Structure 1
Amino acid sequence: MKQRIVTGVIAAVIFIAFLVIGHLPFELFTCVMAIIAYYELIAMAKIKQNSIQAILGALAVILVVLNAEVQKVFSYDLVTLFIALALILLIVTVFSRNTFSYDKASFVLFSALYIGFSFMLLSQVRVEQSLLLLLFILVVIWSTDSGAYFIGRQWGKHKLAPHISPNKTIEGMIGGIISALIISGIFQLVANFDDPYTPFKLIVMTLLIAIFGPIGDLAESALKRHYDVKDSGKLLPGHGGVLDRVDSWIFVLPVLYLFQLI
Protein backbone atom coordinates (compact mmCIF):
# COMPACT_ATOMS: atom_id res chain seq x y z
CA MET A 1 0.00 0.00 0.00
CA LYS A 2 2.86 2.40 0.87
CA GLN A 3 4.49 1.80 -2.50
CA ARG A 4 1.16 2.40 -4.25
CA ILE A 5 0.68 5.73 -2.43
CA VAL A 6 4.23 6.94 -3.11
CA THR A 7 4.01 6.02 -6.78
CA GLY A 8 0.59 7.67 -7.09
CA VAL A 9 1.79 10.92 -5.52
CA ILE A 10 4.92 11.13 -7.68
CA ALA A 11 2.98 10.34 -10.87
CA ALA A 12 0.28 12.88 -9.96
CA VAL A 13 2.84 15.64 -9.28
CA ILE A 14 4.59 15.03 -12.62
CA PHE A 15 1.33 14.92 -14.55
CA ILE A 16 -0.12 18.04 -12.90
CA ALA A 17 3.13 19.95 -13.49
CA PHE A 18 2.98 19.30 -17.25
CA LEU A 19 -0.78 19.91 -17.23
CA VAL A 20 -0.33 23.38 -15.74
CA ILE A 21 2.58 24.25 -18.07
CA GLY A 22 0.58 23.21 -21.12
CA HIS A 23 1.62 24.10 -24.67
CA LEU A 24 4.41 22.08 -26.35
CA PRO A 25 5.75 20.51 -23.09
CA PHE A 26 2.34 18.99 -22.38
CA GLU A 27 1.99 17.82 -25.98
CA LEU A 28 5.37 16.06 -25.80
CA PHE A 29 4.56 14.59 -22.38
CA THR A 30 1.23 13.34 -23.73
CA CYS A 31 3.04 11.79 -26.69
CA VAL A 32 5.43 9.93 -24.37
CA MET A 33 2.47 8.61 -22.35
CA ALA A 34 0.78 7.52 -25.58
CA ILE A 35 3.84 5.64 -26.85
CA ILE A 36 4.18 3.80 -23.52
CA ALA A 37 0.46 2.91 -23.50
CA TYR A 38 0.68 1.75 -27.14
CA TYR A 39 3.62 -0.55 -26.44
CA GLU A 40 1.88 -1.90 -23.33
CA LEU A 41 -1.15 -2.71 -25.47
CA ILE A 42 0.69 -4.52 -28.27
CA ALA A 43 2.80 -6.40 -25.71
CA MET A 44 -0.42 -8.07 -24.52
CA ALA A 45 -0.76 -9.63 -27.96
CA LYS A 46 2.92 -10.68 -27.83
CA ILE A 47 3.93 -8.44 -30.73
CA LYS A 48 7.67 -7.74 -30.59
CA GLN A 49 8.36 -4.12 -29.70
CA ASN A 50 11.30 -3.79 -32.09
CA SER A 51 9.50 -5.33 -35.06
CA ILE A 52 8.84 -3.22 -38.14
CA GLN A 53 5.08 -3.46 -37.62
CA ALA A 54 5.30 -2.27 -34.01
CA ILE A 55 7.55 0.63 -35.02
CA LEU A 56 5.17 1.63 -37.83
CA GLY A 57 2.29 1.69 -35.34
CA ALA A 58 4.36 3.77 -32.90
CA LEU A 59 5.18 6.24 -35.68
CA ALA A 60 1.47 6.55 -36.47
CA VAL A 61 0.74 7.25 -32.79
CA ILE A 62 3.36 10.03 -32.77
CA LEU A 63 1.96 11.59 -35.97
CA VAL A 64 -1.56 11.55 -34.54
CA VAL A 65 -0.78 12.83 -31.03
CA LEU A 66 1.55 15.56 -32.33
CA ASN A 67 -0.72 16.22 -35.28
CA ALA A 68 -1.04 19.98 -34.59
CA GLU A 69 2.73 20.45 -34.40
CA VAL A 70 3.68 18.18 -37.30
CA GLN A 71 1.09 19.85 -39.54
CA LYS A 72 3.16 23.04 -39.25
CA VAL A 73 5.96 21.27 -41.13
CA PHE A 74 4.03 19.14 -43.62
CA SER A 75 0.36 18.47 -44.19
CA TYR A 76 -1.34 15.09 -44.05
CA ASP A 77 -4.79 13.67 -43.44
CA LEU A 78 -5.36 11.30 -40.51
CA VAL A 79 -7.70 9.04 -42.50
CA THR A 80 -5.07 8.72 -45.23
CA LEU A 81 -2.45 7.97 -42.57
CA PHE A 82 -4.41 5.01 -41.20
CA ILE A 83 -5.30 3.69 -44.67
CA ALA A 84 -1.58 3.73 -45.48
CA LEU A 85 -0.77 1.99 -42.18
CA ALA A 86 -3.38 -0.70 -42.85
CA LEU A 87 -2.00 -1.40 -46.34
CA ILE A 88 1.61 -1.49 -45.14
CA LEU A 89 0.71 -3.89 -42.33
CA LEU A 90 -0.99 -6.17 -44.85
CA ILE A 91 2.15 -6.09 -46.99
CA VAL A 92 4.17 -7.11 -43.91
CA THR A 93 1.89 -10.15 -43.44
CA VAL A 94 2.73 -11.24 -47.01
CA PHE A 95 6.49 -11.24 -46.45
CA SER A 96 6.61 -12.28 -42.79
CA ARG A 97 6.56 -16.04 -43.48
CA ASN A 98 3.48 -16.46 -41.28
CA THR A 99 5.12 -14.88 -38.22
CA PHE A 100 2.89 -11.80 -38.47
CA SER A 101 -0.77 -12.68 -39.00
CA TYR A 102 -3.79 -10.71 -40.14
CA ASP A 103 -5.06 -10.76 -36.53
CA LYS A 104 -1.88 -9.11 -35.28
CA ALA A 105 -1.95 -6.59 -38.13
CA SER A 106 -5.49 -5.66 -37.09
CA PHE A 107 -4.39 -5.38 -33.46
CA VAL A 108 -1.53 -3.00 -34.32
CA LEU A 109 -3.87 -0.87 -36.43
CA PHE A 110 -6.52 -0.77 -33.68
CA SER A 111 -3.92 0.02 -31.00
CA ALA A 112 -2.41 2.89 -32.97
CA LEU A 113 -5.85 4.33 -33.77
CA TYR A 114 -7.33 3.97 -30.27
CA ILE A 115 -4.28 5.19 -28.35
CA GLY A 116 -3.25 7.85 -30.85
CA PHE A 117 -6.66 9.46 -31.26
CA SER A 118 -7.50 9.40 -27.53
CA PHE A 119 -4.23 10.99 -26.47
CA MET A 120 -4.50 13.52 -29.30
CA LEU A 121 -7.83 14.62 -27.79
CA LEU A 122 -6.23 14.85 -24.33
CA SER A 123 -3.57 17.16 -25.75
CA GLN A 124 -5.96 19.23 -27.86
CA VAL A 125 -8.40 19.90 -25.03
CA ARG A 126 -5.56 21.32 -22.92
CA VAL A 127 -3.70 23.22 -25.64
CA GLU A 128 -6.51 24.35 -27.96
CA GLN A 129 -9.40 24.70 -25.51
CA SER A 130 -8.59 25.27 -21.84
CA LEU A 131 -6.94 23.95 -18.71
CA LEU A 132 -10.24 24.44 -16.87
CA LEU A 133 -12.17 22.16 -19.22
CA LEU A 134 -9.60 19.37 -19.04
CA LEU A 135 -9.44 19.65 -15.26
CA PHE A 136 -13.23 19.36 -15.16
CA ILE A 137 -13.16 16.17 -17.25
CA LEU A 138 -10.38 14.61 -15.17
CA VAL A 139 -11.93 15.57 -11.82
CA VAL A 140 -15.27 14.05 -12.86
CA ILE A 141 -13.47 10.84 -13.94
CA TRP A 142 -11.61 10.65 -10.62
CA SER A 143 -14.75 11.38 -8.59
CA THR A 144 -16.61 8.66 -10.51
CA ASP A 145 -13.88 6.14 -9.71
CA SER A 146 -13.75 7.15 -6.04
CA GLY A 147 -17.51 7.12 -5.59
CA ALA A 148 -17.83 3.74 -7.27
CA TYR A 149 -15.06 2.28 -5.12
CA PHE A 150 -16.35 3.44 -1.75
CA ILE A 151 -20.06 2.88 -2.42
CA GLY A 152 -19.32 -0.48 -4.01
CA ARG A 153 -17.28 -1.64 -1.03
CA GLN A 154 -19.93 -0.51 1.44
CA TRP A 155 -23.17 -1.50 -0.26
CA GLY A 156 -22.28 -3.37 -3.45
CA LYS A 157 -24.17 -6.66 -3.86
CA HIS A 158 -25.14 -6.99 -7.52
CA LYS A 159 -22.20 -7.65 -9.86
CA LEU A 160 -21.90 -5.39 -12.88
CA ALA A 161 -19.75 -7.65 -15.09
CA PRO A 162 -18.58 -10.62 -12.99
CA HIS A 163 -17.04 -12.45 -15.97
CA ILE A 164 -14.67 -9.51 -16.52
CA SER A 165 -14.27 -7.65 -13.23
CA PRO A 166 -15.82 -9.43 -10.23
CA ASN A 167 -15.30 -6.48 -7.87
CA LYS A 168 -17.41 -3.97 -9.80
CA THR A 169 -21.07 -3.69 -8.76
CA ILE A 170 -24.19 -1.98 -10.05
CA GLU A 171 -24.47 -0.13 -6.71
CA GLY A 172 -20.90 1.06 -7.14
CA MET A 173 -21.62 2.39 -10.63
CA ILE A 174 -24.69 4.25 -9.36
CA GLY A 175 -22.59 5.64 -6.51
CA GLY A 176 -20.00 6.77 -9.04
CA ILE A 177 -22.63 8.63 -11.07
CA ILE A 178 -24.02 10.35 -7.97
CA SER A 179 -20.51 11.26 -6.79
CA ALA A 180 -19.67 12.66 -10.24
CA LEU A 181 -22.81 14.82 -10.28
CA ILE A 182 -22.07 16.21 -6.80
CA ILE A 183 -18.42 17.02 -7.58
CA SER A 184 -19.41 18.42 -10.97
CA GLY A 185 -21.90 20.77 -9.27
CA ILE A 186 -19.29 21.98 -6.77
CA PHE A 187 -16.75 22.44 -9.56
CA GLN A 188 -19.18 24.59 -11.53
CA LEU A 189 -19.92 26.75 -8.46
CA VAL A 190 -16.25 27.63 -7.93
CA ALA A 191 -15.18 27.77 -11.60
CA ASN A 192 -16.15 30.23 -14.29
CA PHE A 193 -16.90 28.42 -17.54
CA ASP A 194 -17.27 30.43 -20.72
CA ASP A 195 -19.77 29.72 -23.48
CA PRO A 196 -20.63 27.26 -24.93
CA TYR A 197 -20.15 25.28 -21.69
CA THR A 198 -23.47 26.02 -20.04
CA PRO A 199 -24.53 24.21 -16.82
CA PHE A 200 -26.78 21.93 -18.87
CA LYS A 201 -23.96 20.95 -21.24
CA LEU A 202 -21.62 20.29 -18.30
CA ILE A 203 -24.24 18.06 -16.66
CA VAL A 204 -24.57 16.09 -19.91
CA MET A 205 -20.78 15.77 -20.02
CA THR A 206 -20.78 14.58 -16.40
CA LEU A 207 -23.34 11.86 -17.08
CA LEU A 208 -21.48 10.66 -20.17
CA ILE A 209 -18.18 10.55 -18.26
CA ALA A 210 -19.72 8.77 -15.27
CA ILE A 211 -21.35 6.14 -17.51
CA PHE A 212 -18.63 5.54 -20.08
CA GLY A 213 -15.61 5.91 -17.77
CA PRO A 214 -16.32 2.57 -16.02
CA ILE A 215 -17.02 0.98 -19.42
CA GLY A 216 -13.55 2.04 -20.55
CA ASP A 217 -12.13 0.40 -17.44
CA LEU A 218 -14.10 -2.78 -18.15
CA ALA A 219 -12.96 -2.75 -21.79
CA GLU A 220 -9.33 -2.85 -20.71
CA SER A 221 -10.12 -5.51 -18.10
CA ALA A 222 -11.73 -7.64 -20.83
CA LEU A 223 -8.64 -7.22 -22.99
CA LYS A 224 -6.30 -8.21 -20.14
CA ARG A 225 -8.45 -11.20 -19.28
CA HIS A 226 -8.44 -12.31 -22.93
CA TYR A 227 -4.64 -12.18 -23.07
CA ASP A 228 -4.27 -13.49 -19.50
CA VAL A 229 -2.43 -10.39 -18.28
CA LYS A 230 -2.76 -9.02 -14.75
CA ASP A 231 -1.44 -5.48 -15.43
CA SER A 232 -0.73 -3.67 -18.68
CA GLY A 233 2.82 -2.92 -17.50
CA LYS A 234 5.18 -2.42 -14.56
CA LEU A 235 6.15 1.24 -14.99
CA LEU A 236 4.08 2.37 -12.00
CA PRO A 237 4.76 0.07 -9.01
CA GLY A 238 1.56 -0.69 -7.17
CA HIS A 239 -0.54 0.63 -10.05
CA GLY A 240 0.58 -1.41 -13.06
CA GLY A 241 1.19 0.34 -16.35
CA VAL A 242 0.20 3.65 -17.91
CA LEU A 243 -2.72 1.99 -19.66
CA ASP A 244 -4.07 0.80 -16.30
CA ARG A 245 -4.22 4.42 -15.12
CA VAL A 246 -5.72 6.01 -18.24
CA ASP A 247 -8.20 3.35 -19.39
CA SER A 248 -11.16 5.55 -18.40
CA TRP A 249 -9.73 8.72 -19.99
CA ILE A 250 -9.00 7.18 -23.36
CA PHE A 251 -12.54 5.82 -23.62
CA VAL A 252 -14.32 8.93 -22.34
CA LEU A 253 -12.55 11.48 -24.53
CA PRO A 254 -13.62 9.90 -27.87
CA VAL A 255 -17.18 9.62 -26.49
CA LEU A 256 -17.22 13.35 -25.69
CA TYR A 257 -15.79 14.02 -29.15
CA LEU A 258 -18.53 11.95 -30.83
CA PHE A 259 -21.15 13.96 -28.94
CA GLN A 260 -19.36 17.15 -30.07
CA LEU A 261 -18.74 18.25 -26.49
CA ILE A 262 -14.99 18.72 -26.97
Structure 2
Amino acid sequence: MKQRIVTGVIAGAFFLALLFAGGIWFTLFIALISVITFHELMAMAKHEKVLVAEVLGAITVAILVLYDVLSPYLFGLSFTDLWLALTILLLLLSIFTHNQFHFAHCAFVSFSAFYIGLSFHYFSAARESGLGIILFILILIWTTDSGAYFVGRKFGKHKLAPVISPNKTVEGFLGGVTLAVLAACLFQAVADLAILHSPVKLVASALIVSVFGQLGDLAESGLKRHFGVKDSGKILPGHGGLLDRFDSLIFILPILHLLNVFNF
Protein backbone atom coordinates (compact mmCIF):
# COMPACT_ATOMS: atom_id res chain seq x y z
CA MET A 1 0.00 0.00 0.00
CA LYS A 2 2.85 2.39 0.86
CA GLN A 3 4.49 1.73 -2.51
CA ARG A 4 1.17 2.31 -4.26
CA ILE A 5 0.68 5.66 -2.53
CA VAL A 6 4.24 6.86 -3.21
CA THR A 7 4.02 5.87 -6.87
CA GLY A 8 0.62 7.52 -7.21
CA VAL A 9 1.77 10.80 -5.67
CA ILE A 10 4.99 11.07 -7.69
CA ALA A 11 3.52 9.95 -11.01
CA GLY A 12 0.38 12.00 -10.47
CA ALA A 13 2.31 15.17 -9.66
CA PHE A 14 4.54 14.77 -12.71
CA PHE A 15 1.56 14.09 -14.98
CA LEU A 16 -0.44 17.06 -13.69
CA ALA A 17 2.56 19.39 -14.00
CA LEU A 18 2.93 18.54 -17.69
CA LEU A 19 -0.83 18.64 -18.20
CA PHE A 20 -1.04 22.19 -16.84
CA ALA A 21 2.03 23.23 -18.84
CA GLY A 22 0.61 21.88 -22.10
CA GLY A 23 2.38 22.63 -25.38
CA ILE A 24 4.91 20.51 -27.22
CA TRP A 25 6.38 18.94 -24.08
CA PHE A 26 2.99 17.58 -23.06
CA THR A 27 2.41 16.25 -26.58
CA LEU A 28 5.82 14.52 -26.59
CA PHE A 29 5.07 13.07 -23.16
CA ILE A 30 1.75 11.69 -24.42
CA ALA A 31 3.54 10.21 -27.44
CA LEU A 32 5.96 8.42 -25.09
CA ILE A 33 3.10 7.13 -22.94
CA SER A 34 1.26 5.90 -26.03
CA VAL A 35 4.27 3.94 -27.30
CA ILE A 36 4.77 2.31 -23.89
CA THR A 37 1.06 1.47 -23.71
CA PHE A 38 1.24 -0.10 -27.16
CA HIS A 39 4.25 -2.16 -26.06
CA GLU A 40 2.28 -3.37 -23.01
CA LEU A 41 -0.53 -4.52 -25.27
CA MET A 42 1.91 -6.35 -27.54
CA ALA A 43 3.59 -7.99 -24.55
CA MET A 44 0.22 -9.13 -23.17
CA ALA A 45 -0.46 -10.86 -26.50
CA LYS A 46 3.11 -12.21 -26.62
CA HIS A 47 3.89 -10.39 -29.86
CA GLU A 48 7.12 -9.06 -28.38
CA LYS A 49 9.01 -11.81 -30.24
CA VAL A 50 8.15 -10.20 -33.59
CA LEU A 51 10.32 -7.14 -33.12
CA VAL A 52 9.83 -5.69 -36.62
CA ALA A 53 6.03 -5.74 -36.27
CA GLU A 54 6.18 -4.04 -32.88
CA VAL A 55 8.58 -1.38 -34.18
CA LEU A 56 6.30 -0.66 -37.14
CA GLY A 57 3.31 -0.42 -34.81
CA ALA A 58 5.14 1.79 -32.34
CA ILE A 59 6.26 4.19 -35.10
CA THR A 60 2.68 4.39 -36.33
CA VAL A 61 1.43 5.12 -32.81
CA ALA A 62 3.96 7.93 -32.38
CA ILE A 63 3.07 9.44 -35.78
CA LEU A 64 -0.63 9.37 -34.93
CA VAL A 65 -0.12 11.15 -31.61
CA LEU A 66 2.25 13.69 -33.18
CA TYR A 67 0.19 13.98 -36.37
CA ASP A 68 -0.54 17.70 -36.00
CA VAL A 69 3.16 18.42 -35.38
CA LEU A 70 4.41 16.15 -38.17
CA SER A 71 1.70 16.86 -40.77
CA PRO A 72 3.89 19.23 -42.86
CA TYR A 73 6.32 16.33 -43.37
CA LEU A 74 3.80 13.52 -44.03
CA PHE A 75 3.12 14.37 -47.72
CA GLY A 76 -0.59 14.79 -47.06
CA LEU A 77 -1.07 11.31 -45.63
CA SER A 78 -4.36 10.90 -43.77
CA PHE A 79 -5.14 8.53 -40.91
CA THR A 80 -6.59 6.13 -43.48
CA ASP A 81 -3.40 6.31 -45.54
CA LEU A 82 -1.32 5.52 -42.47
CA TRP A 83 -3.53 2.54 -41.67
CA LEU A 84 -3.16 1.22 -45.23
CA ALA A 85 0.62 1.69 -45.11
CA LEU A 86 0.91 -0.19 -41.81
CA THR A 87 -1.39 -2.97 -43.01
CA ILE A 88 0.60 -3.48 -46.23
CA LEU A 89 3.91 -3.53 -44.36
CA LEU A 90 2.58 -6.07 -41.86
CA LEU A 91 1.25 -8.30 -44.64
CA LEU A 92 4.63 -8.13 -46.35
CA LEU A 93 6.19 -9.15 -43.05
CA SER A 94 3.94 -12.21 -42.96
CA ILE A 95 5.37 -13.23 -46.33
CA PHE A 96 9.00 -12.79 -45.33
CA THR A 97 8.47 -14.71 -42.08
CA HIS A 98 6.87 -17.58 -44.04
CA ASN A 99 3.56 -16.94 -42.28
CA GLN A 100 4.98 -17.35 -38.77
CA PHE A 101 3.68 -13.83 -38.34
CA HIS A 102 0.27 -14.46 -39.86
CA PHE A 103 -2.90 -12.54 -40.73
CA ALA A 104 -4.35 -12.65 -37.20
CA HIS A 105 -1.13 -11.10 -35.89
CA CYS A 106 -1.31 -8.41 -38.58
CA ALA A 107 -4.87 -7.56 -37.58
CA PHE A 108 -4.03 -7.39 -33.88
CA VAL A 109 -0.98 -5.14 -34.35
CA SER A 110 -2.85 -2.85 -36.75
CA PHE A 111 -5.92 -2.59 -34.51
CA SER A 112 -3.80 -2.00 -31.40
CA ALA A 113 -1.69 0.68 -33.05
CA PHE A 114 -4.70 2.68 -34.17
CA TYR A 115 -6.74 2.14 -31.03
CA ILE A 116 -3.88 3.39 -28.86
CA GLY A 117 -2.51 5.97 -31.30
CA LEU A 118 -5.78 7.67 -32.20
CA SER A 119 -7.00 7.69 -28.61
CA PHE A 120 -3.87 9.43 -27.37
CA HIS A 121 -3.98 11.75 -30.39
CA TYR A 122 -7.39 12.90 -29.20
CA PHE A 123 -6.00 13.24 -25.69
CA SER A 124 -3.38 15.70 -26.95
CA ALA A 125 -5.99 17.45 -29.11
CA ALA A 126 -8.35 17.78 -26.15
CA ARG A 127 -5.59 19.45 -24.14
CA GLU A 128 -4.84 21.81 -27.01
CA SER A 129 -8.52 22.80 -27.11
CA GLY A 130 -8.25 24.01 -23.51
CA LEU A 131 -7.17 22.94 -20.05
CA GLY A 132 -10.72 23.12 -18.74
CA ILE A 133 -12.05 20.47 -21.12
CA ILE A 134 -9.42 17.85 -20.36
CA LEU A 135 -9.67 18.53 -16.62
CA PHE A 136 -13.43 18.06 -16.85
CA ILE A 137 -12.96 14.67 -18.52
CA LEU A 138 -10.25 13.50 -16.12
CA ILE A 139 -12.10 14.60 -12.99
CA LEU A 140 -15.22 12.78 -14.14
CA ILE A 141 -13.21 9.61 -14.78
CA TRP A 142 -11.65 9.81 -11.31
CA THR A 143 -14.96 10.53 -9.56
CA THR A 144 -16.63 7.71 -11.48
CA ASP A 145 -13.95 5.27 -10.34
CA SER A 146 -14.29 6.44 -6.73
CA GLY A 147 -18.09 6.36 -6.76
CA ALA A 148 -18.18 2.92 -8.35
CA TYR A 149 -15.67 1.54 -5.84
CA PHE A 150 -17.20 2.88 -2.63
CA VAL A 151 -20.86 2.44 -3.59
CA GLY A 152 -20.15 -1.03 -4.95
CA ARG A 153 -18.26 -2.00 -1.82
CA LYS A 154 -21.01 -0.74 0.49
CA PHE A 155 -24.19 -1.62 -1.42
CA GLY A 156 -23.14 -3.89 -4.30
CA LYS A 157 -25.22 -7.04 -4.64
CA HIS A 158 -25.87 -7.53 -8.35
CA LYS A 159 -22.90 -8.46 -10.52
CA LEU A 160 -22.39 -6.21 -13.54
CA ALA A 161 -20.18 -8.46 -15.70
CA PRO A 162 -19.16 -11.47 -13.58
CA VAL A 163 -17.32 -13.28 -16.39
CA ILE A 164 -15.14 -10.26 -17.17
CA SER A 165 -14.81 -8.52 -13.80
CA PRO A 166 -16.38 -10.38 -10.86
CA ASN A 167 -16.01 -7.50 -8.39
CA LYS A 168 -17.97 -4.89 -10.35
CA THR A 169 -21.63 -4.44 -9.51
CA VAL A 170 -24.65 -2.70 -11.00
CA GLU A 171 -24.95 -0.63 -7.82
CA GLY A 172 -21.33 0.46 -8.16
CA PHE A 173 -21.86 1.33 -11.82
CA LEU A 174 -24.85 3.54 -10.95
CA GLY A 175 -22.98 5.04 -8.01
CA GLY A 176 -20.14 6.03 -10.31
CA VAL A 177 -22.52 7.65 -12.78
CA THR A 178 -24.34 9.55 -10.03
CA LEU A 179 -21.15 10.92 -8.49
CA ALA A 180 -19.87 11.91 -11.95
CA VAL A 181 -23.00 13.96 -12.68
CA LEU A 182 -22.69 15.71 -9.31
CA ALA A 183 -18.99 16.35 -9.93
CA ALA A 184 -19.78 17.77 -13.37
CA CYS A 185 -22.26 20.24 -11.90
CA LEU A 186 -19.79 21.28 -9.21
CA PHE A 187 -16.98 21.62 -11.75
CA GLN A 188 -19.09 23.81 -14.02
CA ALA A 189 -20.17 25.97 -11.08
CA VAL A 190 -16.49 26.67 -10.37
CA ALA A 191 -14.94 26.68 -13.86
CA ASP A 192 -17.91 28.10 -15.81
CA LEU A 193 -16.85 26.65 -19.19
CA ALA A 194 -18.75 28.31 -22.04
CA ILE A 195 -19.09 25.00 -23.90
CA LEU A 196 -21.00 23.51 -20.95
CA HIS A 197 -23.43 26.36 -20.28
CA SER A 198 -26.33 24.21 -21.45
CA PRO A 199 -27.55 22.04 -18.53
CA VAL A 200 -28.56 19.34 -21.01
CA LYS A 201 -25.08 19.22 -22.56
CA LEU A 202 -23.46 19.28 -19.13
CA VAL A 203 -25.41 16.27 -17.87
CA ALA A 204 -25.19 14.45 -21.21
CA SER A 205 -21.40 14.93 -21.28
CA ALA A 206 -21.10 13.61 -17.73
CA LEU A 207 -23.20 10.56 -18.59
CA ILE A 208 -21.15 9.81 -21.71
CA VAL A 209 -17.83 10.08 -19.87
CA SER A 210 -18.98 8.07 -16.86
CA VAL A 211 -20.84 5.30 -18.68
CA PHE A 212 -18.29 4.76 -21.43
CA GLY A 213 -15.41 5.18 -19.00
CA GLN A 214 -16.67 2.21 -17.01
CA LEU A 215 -17.26 0.25 -20.21
CA GLY A 216 -13.67 1.02 -21.23
CA ASP A 217 -12.47 -0.36 -17.92
CA LEU A 218 -14.49 -3.52 -18.55
CA ALA A 219 -13.09 -3.81 -22.08
CA GLU A 220 -9.54 -3.78 -20.73
CA SER A 221 -10.49 -6.25 -17.99
CA GLY A 222 -11.81 -8.57 -20.68
CA LEU A 223 -8.59 -8.15 -22.64
CA LYS A 224 -6.45 -9.04 -19.62
CA ARG A 225 -8.66 -12.02 -18.79
CA HIS A 226 -8.37 -13.23 -22.38
CA PHE A 227 -4.57 -13.09 -22.23
CA GLY A 228 -4.42 -14.41 -18.67
CA VAL A 229 -2.61 -11.48 -17.05
CA LYS A 230 -3.40 -9.53 -13.88
CA ASP A 231 -1.88 -6.21 -14.92
CA SER A 232 -0.97 -4.78 -18.31
CA GLY A 233 2.58 -4.05 -17.12
CA LYS A 234 4.85 -3.22 -14.19
CA ILE A 235 6.03 0.30 -15.01
CA LEU A 236 4.06 1.80 -12.10
CA PRO A 237 4.87 -0.16 -8.91
CA GLY A 238 1.66 -0.92 -7.06
CA HIS A 239 -0.48 0.29 -9.95
CA GLY A 240 0.41 -2.02 -12.83
CA GLY A 241 0.92 -0.69 -16.33
CA LEU A 242 -0.01 2.47 -18.20
CA LEU A 243 -2.87 0.70 -19.98
CA ASP A 244 -4.33 -0.03 -16.53
CA ARG A 245 -4.22 3.69 -15.72
CA PHE A 246 -5.49 5.03 -19.05
CA ASP A 247 -7.98 2.33 -20.04
CA SER A 248 -11.07 4.48 -19.42
CA LEU A 249 -9.60 7.60 -21.01
CA ILE A 250 -8.48 5.98 -24.25
CA PHE A 251 -11.92 4.38 -24.62
CA ILE A 252 -13.78 7.64 -23.98
CA LEU A 253 -11.85 10.08 -26.17
CA PRO A 254 -12.65 8.53 -29.58
CA ILE A 255 -16.33 8.42 -28.58
CA LEU A 256 -16.30 12.08 -27.55
CA HIS A 257 -14.64 12.88 -30.87
CA LEU A 258 -17.18 10.86 -32.88
CA LEU A 259 -20.07 12.55 -31.08
CA ASN A 260 -18.33 15.94 -31.47
CA VAL A 261 -19.03 16.75 -27.84
CA PHE A 262 -16.10 19.11 -27.31
CA ASN A 263 -14.91 19.89 -30.86
CA PHE A 264 -11.46 18.31 -30.71
TM (norm. structure 1) is 0.97
Q: Which piece of structure 1 moves more, 24-33 or 194-203?
A: 194-203
Partner of 2:94: 93
Partner of 1:56: 56
Distance between the aligned counterparts of 1:22 and 1:119, measured in 2? 14
Distance between the aligned counterparts of 2:198 and 2:49, measured in 1? 45
Any unmatched runs of 5+ in structure 1?
A: none
Distance between the aligned counterparts of 1:194 and 1:184, measured in 2? 14
Q: Which piece of structure 1 moves more, 194-203 or 156-165?
A: 194-203
Contact 2:196 2:202 in 1 (8 A): no
Q: C-alpha deviations, 1:192-219, integer Å up to 9, x for none? A: 2124763321211100111111110110
Contact 1:39 1:49 in 2 (8 A): no
Shift of 1:150: 0.2
Q: C-alpha deviations, 1:6-55, integer Å up to 9, x for none? A: 11111110110100110101100100110010000011111126611111
Matched, 1:77 2:78: yes
CA RMSD of aligned residues (A): 1.2
Partner of 1:122: 123
Contact 1:157 1:171 in 2 (8 A): yes
Any unmatched runs of 5+ in structure 2?
A: none
Contact 1:188 1:199 in 2 (8 A): no
Q: C-alpha deviations, 1:93-123, integer Å up to 9, x for none? A: 1111232121111110011000000000000
Shift of 1:178: 0.4
Q: C-alpha deviations, 1:72-109, integer Å up to 9, x for none? A: 33432111010111111111111112321211111100
Taking a change above 3 Å as real, the CA distance of residues 51 and 227 of structure 1, as seen in their structure-2 partners, is same
Partner of 1:23: 23
Distance between the aligned counterparts of 1:192 and 1:65, measured in 2? 29
Percent identical among aligned pairs is: 49
Contact 1:209 1:252 in 2 (8 A): yes
Distance between the aligned counterparts of 2:197 and 2:38, measured in 1? 32
Distance between the aligned counterparts of 2:110 and 2:197, measured in 1? 34
Matches within 5 A, 1:1-262: 1-48=1-48, 51-74=51-74, 75-127=76-128, 129-195=129-195, 198-262=198-262
Contact 2:50 2:101 in 1 (8 A): no
Contact 1:224 1:232 in 2 (8 A): yes
Q: Which amino acid aligns with 2:136?
A: F
Corresponding residue pairs, total:
261
Q: C-alpha deviations, 1:203-261, integer Å up to 9, x for none? A: 11100111111110110111111110110000001110000000000001111111111
Q: Which piece of structure 1 moves more, 190-199 or 151-160?
A: 190-199
SS of equivalent residue, structure 1 residue 167: strand
Q: C-alpha deviations, 1:107-159, integer Å up to 9, x for none? A: 100110000000000000111x1000000000001000000000000000000
Distance between the aligned counterparts of 1:169 and 1:186, measured in 2? 26
Q: C-alpha deviations, 1:167-213, integer Å up to 9, x for none? A: 00000000000000111110010012124763321211100111111
Distance between the aligned counterparts of 1:197 and 1:106, measured in 2? 42
